[in-house]
Amino acid sequence: MELKGKTVVVTGATSGIGEACARLFAAKGCSLVLAARRKEVLDKLAGELKAAHGIAAETFALDVRSRKAVFAFADELTAKKLVPDVLVNNAGLARGLSKLHEGDIDEWEEMIDTNVKGLLYVSRALVPQMVARNYGHVVNVGSSAGRSLYPGGNVYCASKFAVNALNQGLNIDLVGTNVRATLIEPGMVKTNFSMVRFSGDQSKSDAVYEGVRFLSAEDIADTIRYVVEAPDHVNIQSLLVMPTDQRASFAVHREKK
C-alpha cells in the first residue's frame, strides 16, 4: 500500500504503540483518525502532527468497551465520508499478575471487555465499510502473550489468544476480498503498559524492563508500517516481534549494572 493520503484509524492513540503509529503515519502523509478515552491528549497530539506534517487529523473520545460509543464513532466516520484504509486495533491493557485462583474479577472483565470485546466492536463497526470498498488493512495488536503463557498471565494471555484467534477468523472470512488482516505480536515494549498493569507502581514497572534492551513503541509502529506497505497481493497474517534479549516470556537476558 502506498501510504501517502491514506486514512489511518488508530485506537488507543494517546500513548505507547498507538501514539507511535500516529506519529509514523502522519510523517508518511496519512490522514489520521485517532481514538482513545483521553480526548485532550489526542487533541494535543493531533495539533502537533497537523502542524508538523500538514495532514488532516480527527480525534474521538472513545471507550472501546462501549458498544454504543463504538457504533456512534463509526457513524460519525461515515458521515464524514471517512473509510479506513488502515485500521489499527491497538487499544488494550493488562491488569495485575495475580494467580488465576486469586484473581480480581473486575480486572478480568476490564481486560476481556477492552482487549477482546472492544476489538470486536470496532471491527464489526468499521470492517464492513472496508469490505464494501474492497480495500484496506486491519492490523490487530496481539502479543507474544497470545502464543504462550507465563505465571500470572492467565486472563491477559487468554485475551491475546482470543485476538490471535479472531485475526485468523477474520482472515478466513475476508477471503475473496482485498482487505488484509495482520496480527502483530510484540514481546516486551517499554510503554505505559506496565504502569497500567501495576496500577502506577513505578518500581514494579521499572523492574520489568531493568537491564533489558526492550522494544520501543516506534519499533512496533515501524513493523506495522512494514506489513501495511507490503504489496497488495502480500498479506502478512501474523508477525511475532521480540527483543533480541527476549526469546520467550521466560527467556530474558538482563545486563547487570
Q: Which residues bind ligand 8X3 (CB under 6 A)?
A: 143-145, 153, 188, 249
CB closer to ligand NDP, 119 vs 179: 119
**Contact of residue 16 among ligand 8X3, ligand NDP, none (CB under 5-8 Å per partner type):** ligand NDP
Question: Which residues does residue 215 pair with via DSSP β-bridges, in sequence order?
Answer: 189
CB closer to ligand NDP, 36 vs 174: 36
CB closer to ligand NDP, 36 vs 130: 36
Unique residue bearing C-alpha cell 490471535? 164
For Cα atoms 210, 23, 218, give the angle at the middle one, nearest 5 degrees.
30
Are the CB atoms for 41 and 59 separated by under 8 Å?
Answer: no
For Cα atoms 220, 196, 74, give the angle at the middle one, nearest 5 degrees.
65
Are the CB atoms for 225 and 219 separated by under 8 Å?
Answer: no
Residues in contact with ligand NDP by the rule CB under 6 A: 11-18, 36-38, 62-65, 90-93, 114, 118, 141, 143, 186, 188-189, 191-193, 196, 217
**Contact of residue 12 among ligand 8X3, ligand NDP, none (CB under 5-8 Å per partner type):** ligand NDP
H or E stretch covering 69: helix 67-79
Nearest approach, Cβ of residue 146 and ligand 8X3 (Å): 8
CB closer to ligand NDP, 179 vs 212: 212
How far apart are alpha carbons 181 and 179 in whole angstroms? 7
**Contact of residue 17 among ligand 8X3, ligand NDP, none (CB under 5-8 Å per partner type):** ligand NDP
**Contact of residue 141 among ligand 8X3, ligand NDP, none (CB under 5-8 Å per partner type):** ligand NDP
Q: Phi/psi zone of residue 240: left (φ > 0), alpha (ψ -120 to 50 degrees), beta?
A: beta
Is 156 annotated as catalytic?
yes
